[in-house]
Structure 1
Amino acid sequence: MLRQEAHLGPGCYNHEFGTMLYNLEKTPVSKKGYGLSARTAARFPPCSTTVTPSPLQYQKDQSQSTVPPPNKTPFSSTTQRFKSQSVTTENSPGPATYNHDVVTNRKVNWPMCFGRPDWSQLPQQEKKALRVMVGKANGFYWYYFVLPYCCCK
């Protein structure tokens, strides 16, 4: 059991020895190869200062407006901003040149049969695919193709 002196008060003890920071700084570190705990570099490298330009060196101050010289104009400032549109009869029809009585929002009729589409009333495309028929005779399979008959010319 450790015995301490009874007359020691606050601020009279060694607070630097045995702290976490003391232990981290005094950890054995080897600069050549492996050593105790296999550390080869400093645990906390010294803070390095990077060499970067100051914010004033990036670009010049543009808070003040600059007036271009009289013989130069800024980019695209001499082009016409709003193009004048010629009014012709093709662009704008005159009064009473269009039909007011056009039926709008027409409902499309779809042939239905008890709530389902009636496919027999809809136009269908002619089938052009081949059918393959398989037959068997004497233990051998044979195939033949059936072409759809077309009566149109």
Structure 2
Amino acid sequence: MLFGDEPPSKIAFGTTAVNRPTFPTDIAHDCFGNHQTPLRGIPQLGPGAYNNEEKTNFRYVLEQQPMSRRGYTFNARTEKRKTFEPKSDVPSPDKYQMDLTRVPTAKRAFKPFNEVSERFKARAKSADTPGPGSYECDVKQNRQIHMLHSFGGRTKLIPAVKTKCMALNTDKCAVCELATTGDYYQYRNEVLCSKCFNFNWQWQEKYKRTHLQAFQKVRDCSSIHNHAGTSAKIQLADDKSTKKLQRKEAYLSLYWA
């Protein structure tokens, strides 16, 4: 140490001659002290300063329970137990029983063992409710609409009724030789109207069912196109409604022919 320099302070890191701030009486000068405020009140208050007889039921428990006179252990039950006074303002057991004097007596049956009474109660049956034999038990389950699939491509719906786009419908039924109206059936160059197809399917007069299975239901494009006698066409219905109708017909064709 050079001459004239002041001696170093004896206080190093607050070790001597400094009152250290302690928690919880003082506030720490950091983030913890900002969020966690110290305790308020009297910090020197000991456990014996609290009024336990006012805040707890410890004294009540000691007075009610029998205590020990020999001092073996805490709350040893060597003292006589406290007896409870009997209560006489309660109803007697017979007050809870049902009064059987007012129960009406059973009427005597007209015949022994009530043989006249109906065994099963009659239920009203609706005429609109089908009977158990009206349901088809051998119905094909998990029916799916027929679609055309391709590897990596989109699926395409197979319509239940094929639409023929032609300027003028000249098809005639091969049986009744009348012009077809609405939906009809066609296989190659053979055309049958719906009436003749259903008649031959039932009676097999001219065509057998094995041959009629090859026919497909078709219709002309008069509902969606207007050709006006030419090859050009004027669209009458949009594509969205047409596809919606095709999906509906394909679904209903799974249940009805």
Look at both structures and tell me which one has the larger radius of gyration over its CA atoms.
2
Structure showing greater relative contact order (alpha-carbon pairs closer than 8 Å, 6 or more residues apart): 2
The TM-score normalised by the length of structure 1 is: 0.31
